[in-house]
Amino acid sequence: MSKKLKIGLFGFGVVGQGLLDIIRGQDLNLEIIKIAIKNPEKKRTLDAHLFTTDHDELLNNSEINTIVELIDDADAAYNIVKRALISGKNVVSANKKMIATHLAELVELQNKHDASLLYEGAVCGSIPIIRNLEEYYDNELLHGISGIFNGSSNYILSKIFNENLEYGVALKQAQDLGFAESNPILDVGGYDPKFKLAIATAHAYGLFINPDNILNVGIQHLSENDIRYAREKNFKIKLVPTARKISTKQVVTYVLPKFVKSDDFLYNVENEYNGVTVQAAFADKQFFFGKGAGGHPTGAAVLSDIAALRYDYRYEYRKYNQHNGLLHTDDVNLEVYLRYTHEYTVEKLQIENIVERFSRDDYKYVIGNVNLKNLIANWALLEQKDVFIAHTGKYTYTEKQIEALAQEGVLLS
């Protein structure tokens, strides 16, 4: 039999409202006791007695057994979630930056205080990828997980490639529709998908990786020349976070724009939709698709977590607890397209095995191999306005890596 959840809700924005819309009219054996908000002056449809600006009214209330955290501020969210877990309250959160940054500590806290922290809504909106990685793939050897994790940047790229809109016009549309923030760098700069990738990697591989150690390069410097090049080759450009096994015990992670071919699942993921590709040893390649942004899609994922708490559900982090010996590395060679202005950019990144080169006064590019270590070492260079880099999808392996991966049955690209 399910237990009754008495909920303290932090935040009543788009996702909070979406969650309430879904809960209304359903018999779910739960009750919202109090809602913490930032702005008490704002007109709201619910009874004013439900709202408070005092966090202690929720965190110190012994009647409340479940905290649902849906605020934007990662630091404030961390303090809320930490206090809730220490007091033995279960927590549902959708704050990807906070979870990615503090995951190892929060997992330790929930174990110590016999509480549960669930966060399906933090990664890819309505797609149940965390629960699937945790339950369905718990004993699977995963070769890779990648996809489109950010609806805002994908909306912009869709408008550019499908409707010939300029980057600035597409960005403005995304902002007007509420898909992108007034300062959109978290989305278009690849930070948002990086936080989501860090969380997914914890469940896919049992690795708790500090997001600061994951390279993220975005689409904010995409030019007409880059778009024209992709079109001529019949590619689309997508912003793709990737976690990939490159040897028996090594996993790489990064977020880069990628040239996507028409036979790739991600090619037809458009607008605010997300898509996740999981490549597994036994189940082979599988694809998850769904809305990645918006109050109702994310609210549905949050409600799924809330419902699971009625039966005392917890993530078990089996791969982490197995101590499988996997290590996070940045020693892998990627084939990339690099558009640049100054020759020292190519030299500094140590681009090798160049297979294509083009140069005219207003447009220069090369296609060649670069080590991920060199990209990380020159991160600031990659964020300059006259530089754009995209992964072609190809890797270069050492003979030792090829041998080890072949034994595991990994298909090399």
Model confidence band, residue 236 (pLDDT cutoffs 50, 70, 90) = very high
Q: Supply the pTM of this predicted model.
A: 0.95
> How confident is the model over 9-18, as a mean pLDDT?
90
Query: Residue 1 — very low, low, confident or very high, per pLDDT cuts 50/70/90?
Result: low
Q: What is the DSSP letter of 397?
A: -
What is the rounded distance in angstroms from the CA atom of residue 286 to the CA atom of residue 309?
28
What pLDDT was estimated at residue 413? 57
Alpha carbons within 13 angstroms on the beta-carbon side of residue 186 total 14
Type of residue numbered 240: V
At residue 21 the predicted structure's pLDDT band, cuts being 50, 70 and 90, is confident
Average pLDDT, the chain: 93
What pLDDT is attached to residue 215?
A: 98
- Whether 196 is catalytic is yes
In this structure, how many other beta carbons lie within 10 angstroms of the beta carbon of residue 270?
A: 17
pLDDT of residue 179: 78
DSSP for 334-385, written as a single string = EEEEEEESSHHHHHHHT-EEEEEEEEETTEEEEEEEEEHHHHHHTHHHHTST
**Distance in angstroms (rounded) separating the CA atoms of residues 161 and 259:** 12
Closest CA to 217 of 384, 43, 373: 384
Per-residue pLDDT at 412 exceeds 80 = no
Q: What share of the chain is helix, strand, coil (3-state, %, to 5)?
A: 40, 25, 35
Catalytic residue among 159, 196, 291, 364: 196
Report whether pLDDT(51) > 70.
Answer: yes
Q: Check if the beta carbon of residue 266 is closer than 8 Å to that of residue 238.
A: yes
| 293/304 Cα distance (integer angstroms) | 16
Burial code (b: 16+ CB inside 10 Å, e: under 16) for 333-362 equals bbbbbbbbeeeebbeebebeeeeeeeeeee
3-state secondary structure of 221: coil
Concatenating the DSSP letter of every residue in 70-81 gives --S-HHHHHHHH
Q: How far apart are CA 127 and CA 273, in angstroms?
A: 10
Instruction: Count CB neighbours of 403 within 10 A.
Output: 12
Confidence of residue 361 (pLDDT cuts 50, 70, 90): very high
**Contact status, residue 217 vs residue 226, Cβ threshold 8 Å:** no
pLDDT digits 0-9 by tens, 381-407: 999 999 999 999 998 876 766 776 677
Whether residue 158 has pLDDT greater than 80:
yes
